[in-house]
Structure 1
Amino acid sequence: MAHSDLVITPIASKADRKAFVDLPWRLYAGDPHWAPPLKSEVYALITPGKNPFFGHAEAQYFLARRNGQVVGRVSAHIDHLALSQPAEQGMGPGTGNFGLFEAEDAEIGAALIEAAEGWLRAKGMSRVLGPISLSIWEEPGLLIQGFDHRPTVMMGHAKPSYQPMIEGAGYQPVKQLKTYELDITKPFPPLIQRIVASGEKSDRIRVRKVDKSKFDEEAAIILAILNDAWGRNWGFVPITDEEVAHFGKQLKPIVFNDLIMIAELEGEPVAFMMTLPDLNEATAPLNGSLFPFGWAKLLWWLRKPQVRTMRVPLMGVVQRLQASRLASQLAFMMIEYIRRAATTHYGATRGEIGWVLDDNQGMNAIADAIESKVNKIYQIYEKDL
């Protein structure tokens, strides 16, 4: 496919793969709010055999070149587990995705999206949902608000110019994902404190730290709650056992007992909240490489992180409790206990909750009640092929 002197090709060699991974370093060179990922992690993300996503998915990556220089990239991918989800939940039959989108200008962006759509159409897809890079559990959505500060761990960044590129290619907004930030050095409002105190007096409720020495058992408890709590959410795709093991291995170095809580009701685990220190604070200065000394700096940091920001990427309450007052009470208790640990043991001053679906009334209400403010919005788009 050619547009003027622009050529779009599927990646076909080791050199192409390297160019695909390296491109953002040039495009974001002047952006102080971009957090360079570790290149080894990006290679693992896009490589079958290293990312268990490919146990149920397939992908094709494209590069854009103009006069021989790489000027854009995109992935086209199909998650076969997503195809079996109910269509009213966002995924469903015939739905493919694009992601890992970067482009120097609108002409390049349009050509890349056209290439991704062509691959999906040839695979029998009738609809595109994106950008999602690569799984809904990784970096979904295009940043459309909040370009003025760096994203936290496992959240994406983008150029403001990408929104008109994607919308110009005929995509319509379908869902927004919000992140909230709050000052965690301040106590929560008196009402929230009373709700927490009331829960602490109840014999039915126990909120406990996870036990990292029983990592697999605790992960299984959290996964069971997550699959139940999120099962009807827009965009939900089940996590496979292989993905649980993979994410567990990835996250284990930044899992700390007092930052992940499990709430039990009459002895049964019914809710959890996972909080991670913002790894980007440690990895961004490494500029993508652990060598020659980055690995030593990172290992030192991981021993006892001192961070500004803590991120809550996941929390859930089992569906049977979601419409009850108890659900918010358990959430407030877990948030408060983690707030205390984050400020006391890790020096954190800022919390970030998200992402949260724009129509998740329960979670948005909890975020409002603890006086947090929306700091980033990510947009997911759809288009019929």
Structure 2
Amino acid sequence: MKRVVPVNSKPQLAAFIDFPHELYKDDPCYVPELFIAQRDLLTPGKHPFHEHSKLQLFLAYDKDKIVGRIAAILNNNHNKFNEAEDGFFGFYDAVNDGEINALLFQEAEKWLREQKVKTIIGPVNFSTNETCGLLIAGYDSPPFAMMTYNKEYYESLVDQAGFRKKVDLVAYRFGEDGYDDKSVRLKEALIARLKNKGITLRTVNKKNFDEEVVKIREVYNSAWDRNLGFVPMTDKEFDYLAKDMKMILDTDFCMVAEKDGKVIGFSLAIPDINQLLITIRKGRLLPFGLFKLLFGLKKINGIRVLALGVLDGYRKLGIEACFYALIIEAYRRKKYKRAEASWILENNDLMNTALQHIKGVPYKRYRIFEKAL
């Protein structure tokens, strides 16, 4: 008997988090999420998302075996900021079974209709500030840190459920030497020109990390306000993310631009922690996973350029080019072998052109879908 049930207990939540491990057990590109991080993310009282919004998790069974999962998500802050009536689906995984897939989406859509939303969008794990997008091209390599991965048949299953494309997101690849270093050659001249305008660039000061976070948060919540589906992060949400980032942060890859003491832009690249997570069985840090993380950071040879934003009014002055130059210099100095810039909206012509100019190769594509309810 095939059925879908709501998740209402800790054992069910654990089963929800663990289901992908069985589904992807023979897939060399699968990277397990850390159990403790997923548990806190999905538990009211643990993650600040739950202070303003809500979700319902569902598990699909075929007889007594778990064969799928999905989350129905109501992000009230998203709807308020975008003046929308949207719901989301996320944390979606399923076997290649049309009936199971239909049952999962039926339950998620039913719950969202009860919340009075008009559209369902996804996959989005809370908002575009977290992991989002269904991989539709580029299955031959593991995802970089904080990027999604899924089976090839997922696109067909989502199509069968009546969804249509909303927008695609693009990831760019860079090899050890496969990039244009023009920005590096021009860096000193660009920095001098910016200095004449009263703009300086520096790395983030970890000793004053809390103060830095406050300054960067203001830029983050302003620089992306025109992006598709963006919703500003609350102070608690940004602090929660920053606390996680601090554990792996390399300040050589985290920079800010300032004018008159005010942060007007920042860039962030993070070590590809997935190179370690892929070795941690079922995302459990104990008994040995913690040691793999602590002693494995120095072995990471890749970075993901996660964010690069400049406030409106200061764009196209050369700040972005300087950020790229500083990232490339640190990349060379630390002898990294590969990098990814992700994700970029397919219609963000400014960023796509800039990445192509420095010889970025678009190699993975993700899709966000939508459906009227």
**Structure 2 length as normaliser, TM-score?**
0.94
More displaced, 148-157 or 256-265?
256-265
Residue 336 of structure 1 is aligned with which of 325, 328, 338?
Answer: 325
Residue 370 of structure 2 corresponds to: 382
CA drift of 1:93 comes to: 2.5
For 1:269 and 1:188, the matched residues in 2 are separated by 28
User: Secondary structure of the equivalent of 1:133?
Assistant: coil
What amino acid does structure 1 have at the position aligned with 2:46? K
Residue 294 of structure 2 is aligned with which of 269, 293, 299?
Answer: 299
Residue 137 of structure 2 corresponds to: 145
CA drift of 1:220 comes to: 1.5
For 1:178 and 1:341, the matched residues in 2 are separated by 24
Residue 77 of structure 2 corresponds to: 81
CA drift of 1:184 comes to: 4.4
User: Secondary structure of the equivalent of 1:151?
Assistant: coil
**2:68 is aligned with 1:63:** no
CA drift of 1:154 comes to: 0.7
Residue 313 of structure 2 corresponds to: 320
CA drift of 1:267 comes to: 5.2
1:274–1:313 CA contact under 8 A, matched in 2: yes
Residue 117 of structure 1 corresponds to: 109
Residue 356 of structure 2 corresponds to: 368
For 1:331 and 1:184, the matched residues in 2 are separated by 21
Q: Which runs of 5+ in 1 are unaligned?
A: 87-91
For 1:266 and 1:360, the matched residues in 2 are separated by 29
Residue 278 of structure 1 is aligned with which of 272, 279, 282?
Answer: 272
Q: Over residues 255-281 of structure 1, what are the superposed CA-to-partner deviations in whole Å (9 max), with x where a residue is unaligned?
A: 122110112346543211001001111
For 1:136 and 1:49, the matched residues in 2 are separated by 21
**2:39 is aligned with 1:48:** no
Q: 1:266 to 1:365 in 2, by over 3 A?
A: farther
1:142–1:156 CA contact under 8 A, matched in 2: yes
CA drift of 1:45 comes to: 1.5
For 1:115 and 1:210, the matched residues in 2 are separated by 45
**2:207 is aligned with 1:216:** no
For 2:265 and 2:163, the matched residues in 1 are separated by 36
Q: Over residues 324-383 of structure 1, what are the superposed CA-to-partner deviations in whole Å (9 max), with x where a residue is unaligned?
A: x31xx21121122122213323x3111111111111111111111110011211101111
Q: CA RMSD in A?
A: 1.6
Q: 1:264 to 1:198 in 2, by over 3 A?
A: same
1:173–1:380 CA contact under 8 A, matched in 2: yes
User: Secondary structure of the equivalent of 1:72?
Assistant: strand
Residue 175 of structure 1 corresponds to: 167
What amino acid does structure 1 have at the position aligned with 2:362? V
For 2:246 and 2:127, the matched residues in 1 are separated by 20
1:1-40 alignment to 2 at 5 Å? 5-40=1-36
CA drift of 1:296 comes to: 2.0
For 1:367 and 1:125, the matched residues in 2 are separated by 37
Residue 223 of structure 2 corresponds to: 229
Residue 189 of structure 2 corresponds to: 198
What amino acid does structure 1 have at the position aligned with 2:91? L
2:163–2:370 CA contact under 8 A, matched in 1: yes
**2:341 is aligned with 1:353:** yes
2:200–2:257 CA contact under 8 A, matched in 1: yes
For 1:366 and 1:263, the matched residues in 2 are separated by 19
> How many residues are paired up?
368
1:229–1:316 CA contact under 8 A, matched in 2: yes
CA drift of 1:297 comes to: 2.4
CA drift of 1:187 comes to: 6.0
Residue 157 of structure 1 corresponds to: 149
1:199–1:333 CA contact under 8 A, matched in 2: yes
Q: Over residues 245-264 of structure 1, what are the superposed CA-to-partner deviations in whole Å (9 max), with x where a residue is unaligned?
A: 11111111111221101123
1:184–1:339 CA contact under 8 A, matched in 2: no
What amino acid does structure 2 have at the position aligned with 1:134? F
2:184–2:329 CA contact under 8 A, matched in 1: no
For 1:60 and 1:267, the matched residues in 2 are separated by 44
